[in-house]
Amino acid sequence: MILIYSDSQLLDLEWIKFLNFDQPVTVVHEFAEYQTATADYKIAFTSARLHCDYDEDCKAYKGFEDKVRQLSALSNLVFSLESELHNFHWHIWAQCHKDNVYWILPGSVNDKPDMSSHIIHWGDFFKLVDILYKKLPHKLAELSPYTVKPKYFDALLGSPKPHRQFVFDNVIEHGLQDKFIIPYGGDWKNDDFYAKDYFIWEPGCVPETKIIGTADSVNYLGHSTPLSHIIPISVYNNTAYSILAETDFDNTLSFFSEKTAKVLIARRLFVVFSGYKFLHNLQNLGFQTFDGIIDESYDLILDGKQRYAAAFEQVKYLCATPQEKVLAQIKDVVEHNYRRLTTTDWTQFARDQVQDQINLLLANAD
């Protein structure tokens, strides 16, 4: 008999329900019951911090490391869902990671042999943006990814961070402002929208609450969604390519948020300003990138400033190259990426990796 601990209905309905344990299973939700009960195998699932990733003072952080350590000691396997991936997660994981703990999250981890094999990719942002636009296929049909545009790049940079500041400064330094749509600036505020002075609203968005950040909800053509999940069709139809300046730029990880999902669904060529091996990790998920059309060797440069400088050389190259030449070359790549994102069940993709670990546990016991 297998005893399973779950601390959320999400885990019960979207994960445990679809896993095959090949023997009787009991699911409990009280830690004390899980702790004292006996079973042939114990498997724990926790989503305690799933909605607290931006707030290190969130109560879900309090005692989280202790909880994971306790679950690890009690269990054959522990699976922890993370909604985002940031460099401060390392401080948490370092205190509680064990050989039987697996982290289910929307990204990848670099060059950490003790961790890499314990990362299960969960493309939740890919899934959520895809779900929205499966309801709005007529909006995707408005995109014109292969036609020459008035400008070369959008750089929807958002709040200031070093990698975004590099892009902004270099656009100015190289006199490329007329080739860009580049809204930027505004430090985070707790009581007002940090981007209110420059944010480009897509027609059809109606705020459902006071907008503080782009994770806040709007009604978009009858569908409730975070503002950040809306593809900027008007911007994309005026620019040929995208700057992808992801949420994080730490070399230890690659976080694939809605920013990545939107350029993939919209069939965009993109130049990345993020951490080391971002493109490499994206390719490991079955996506293609643009080496051969541009030089993507920048992806493997460890030093951040050197990596950004090499990436910006590709921006300059693209701004000096006729768009029709480049747009004719990208079609196979961007169509592949669109299909890869929109035909993959990204929760099942992660569940399959969870299932592999369960199968391995049971097979080794036999």
pLDDT value of residue 56:
55
| In a shared domain, residues 247 and 315 | yes
Between CA 68 and CA 93 the distance in angstroms is: 9
Is residue 112 in some structural domain? no
| In a shared domain, residues 89 and 210 | no
Spans of the chain below 50 pLDDT: 53
pLDDT value of residue 259:
97
pLDDT value of residue 159:
86
pLDDT value of residue 59:
58
Domain boundary among 75, 105, 135: 105
pLDDT value of residue 128:
97
| In a shared domain, residues 89 and 221 | no
At CA 276, angle to CA 275 and CA 278, rounded to 5? 75
pLDDT value of residue 66:
87
pLDDT value of residue 336:
98
Between CA 170 and CA 138 the distance in angstroms is: 36
Is residue 114 in some structural domain? no
Is residue 251 in some structural domain? yes
Looking at the structure of the chain, the number of domains it has is 2
271 — phi, psi (to 5°)? -110, 130
In SS3 terms, the chain reads as: CEEEEECCHHHHHHCHHHCCCCCCEEEECCHHHHHHCCCCEEEEEECCCCCCCCCCCCHHHCCHHHHHHHHHHHCCEEEEECCCCCCCHHHHHHHHCCCCEEEEECEEECCCHHHHCCEEECCHHHHHHHHHHHCCHHHHCCCCCCCCCCEEEECCCECCCHHHHHHHHHHHHCCCHHHEECCECCCCCCCCCCCCCCCCCCCCEEECCCCCCCCCEEEECCEEEEHHHCCCHHHHCCEEEEEECCCCCCCCEEECCHHHHHHHHCCCEEEECCCCCHHHHHHCCCCCCCECCECCHHHHCCCHHHHHHHHHHHHHHHHCCCHHHHHHHCHHHHHHHHHHHHHCCHHHHHHHHHHHHHHHHHHHHC
10: left (phi over 0), alpha (psi -120 to 50) or beta: alpha
Is residue 145 in some structural domain? yes
| In a shared domain, residues 163 and 222 | yes
Q: What CATH number is associated with residue 303?
A: 3.40.50
pLDDT value of residue 366:
61
| In a shared domain, residues 199 and 310 | yes
| In a shared domain, residues 66 and 150 | no
Between CA 247 and CA 99 the distance in angstroms is: 29
Is residue 22 in some structural domain? yes
pLDDT value of residue 224:
97
| In a shared domain, residues 237 and 311 | yes
| In a shared domain, residues 312 and 201 | yes
| In a shared domain, residues 155 and 289 | yes
Domain boundary among 55, 76, 105: 105
pLDDT value of residue 2:
97
Domain boundary among 70, 105, 140: 105
| In a shared domain, residues 201 and 323 | yes
| In a shared domain, residues 97 and 173 | no
Is residue 257 in some structural domain? yes
| In a shared domain, residues 84 and 135 | no
**Domain that includes residue 42, residue range:** 2-105
29 — phi, psi (to 5°)? -120, -5
Between CA 238 and CA 266 the distance in angstroms is: 13
Is residue 352 in some structural domain? no
The predicted-structure confidence for 140-181, as pLDDT tens digits, reads as follows 999 999 999 999 999 999 889 999 999 999 999 999 999 999
Is residue 134 in some structural domain? yes
pLDDT value of residue 339:
98
